[in-house]
Amino acid sequence: MHGTKHLFIPGPTNIPEEVRRAMNVPMEDMRAPDYADFVLGLLADMKKVYRLDNGRVFIFPSSGTGAWESAIQNTLSPGDTVLMSRFGQFSLLWVDMAERLGLKVKLCEVEWGKGVPVEDYARILSEDTTHTIKAVFTTQNETATGVTSDIAGVRKALDSANHPALLFVDGVSSIGSIPFEMEKWGVDLAVSGSQKGFMLPAGLGFLGVSDKALAAHASNAPKMSRCYFSWEDMIKLNDTGYFPYTPATQLMRGLRVSLDMMLADGLEAIWARHAYHAEGVRRAVAAWDGCELVASGPEWVSDTVSAIYTPDGVDARDVIAGAYGKYQTSLGTGLNKLAGRAFRIGHLGSLNPVMLCGAISAAEMALMDAGAKITPGAGVAAAQEHYRSASA
C-alpha cells in the first residue's frame, strides 16, 4: 500500500505534527528541580480547558477509565445510592463499574439514540426528599451512539430540587471539543482522556474536581478502598509540581504543546470548528439513501462523532472492513447492540474539511461495495456544499 492510512475513529484521534515532535524527546528526570515548574504550568492550563477557576485537575497515567474509578473511590462509599442512565456502550460501562465497586445504582434505561433523561432525573431528585442519592452520573457525549446530553439541564434539576448530590460527568469525548463549563454548570467531577480532543495518544486520564468534591473527600466520608488512584498522595505531590509515581513524561511534553495550541485557538473557536466539521458529515449522511444517524433527533446529535445506521441488508462490519482494506481508512465500529448495524465517523481533534471529505468518500465507496444503493458522490457533494458555503 502506498500513501498514508486515514484515521477517522472517535479516538485515538489524529495527532498534530507539532505535538508528535514534542513527544520525540529523550527520557528525562521527573524529579529534576526544574520539572516542577513545567508540571505546575500544565495543571494550571488544564483548569482553563475545564473552565474551572477553583478546584483542581488531576493527571493520571491511565486511560479515562482510571479517572472514572478515581472519581468514585475518592468521594463515595460502598452501599451509596447513585442515579445513573444507560444509553450506549460507555454509559453502560460506567454503570457496570459503579455496581462492581459496591454502589447501589438507581438506573434509568434510555433508548439508544437519546441521552441523559433530564426530566426523569428531575422527577427522581424531587422525590428524594431524604437525599438518599449521593451522586448523579451523566455521560455528556456517548461515543458509541453519537449523542450529546444536556449537562446544564441536569444541574438545573439538582438545583430545583435543592439536592446536594455530587454531579459526575463523563467528558471523555467532549471536553476540549464541545462546550463544557465545569464551574458554570456546577459539575463536581469531570473525566476525560488524552486521546480525544486533547490530540494525544492514549495514556493520560484527566479528572477535574470541584471544591465541593474535594470537601467530600476530605470529610473522610468515602470508605472505598483505594491506592493508586487515591487523591491524598496526588494532592501532596502535585502541590509541589511532582507526582507520587512515575508520570508519562513524553505524553506530558505532548500535552504541553496541545494545550498551547488549544488556548491559542480559544475554546469557543474550537467548539465552533467542531460544529462546522460535524455538520458536513451530517449533510453527507442525509444524502445517503437508506442511511441515518443513530442520534434520534437534532437535539441529540454530537459534534465529535456520528454513528450511522447502514441501509437494510447492508452489514456495517463489511463497510468498516472494506474501508480499511480497500481504501486505507479506519472508521469506528458499531459497539454492543449496534454491531453490524452502524459504523462511526469521528470528527474531533485535529481535522479539516478536506480530510473529512476523504473520510466521507471512503465511507461512501465502502457502503456501495457492501451493497448500499446510494448515488456515487452524493455524500461528498453535500459535505462540499456545506464547507464551501459556511466558515469554520
Per-residue pLDDT of the chain (392 residues; tens, 9 = 90+): 688 999 999 999 999 999 999 999 999 999 999 999 999 999 999 999 999 999 999 999 999 999 999 999 999 999 999 999 999 999 999 999 999 999 999 999 999 999 999 999 999 999 999 999 999 999 999 999 999 999 999 999 999 999 999 999 999 999 999 999 999 999 999 999 999 999 999 999 999 999 999 999 998 777 899 999 999 999 999 999 999 999 999 999 999 999 999 999 999 999 999 999 999 999 999 999 999 999 999 999 999 999 999 999 999 999 999 999 999 999 999 999 999 999 999 999 999 999 999 999 999 999 999 999 999 999 999 999 999 997 76
Residue 8 included in any domain: no
Cell numbers linked to 144:
458509541
Helix (H) or strand (E) holding 346: strand 342-346
Asked if 215 and 317 sit in the same domain, the reply is: no
Instruction: Decide: 125 and 83 in contact? Cβ < 8 Å.
Output: yes
SS3 48: helix
Residue 10 included in any domain: no
Asked if 44 and 69 sit in the same domain, the reply is: yes
The CATH number linked to 214 is 3.40.640.10
Domain range for 141: 18-264
Instruction: Decide: 215 and 208 in contact? Cβ < 8 Å.
Output: no
Asked if 30 and 115 sit in the same domain, the reply is: yes
Asked if 242 and 328 sit in the same domain, the reply is: no
User: How many Cα neighbours within 13 Å face the side chain of 293?
Assistant: 27
pTM comes to 0.96
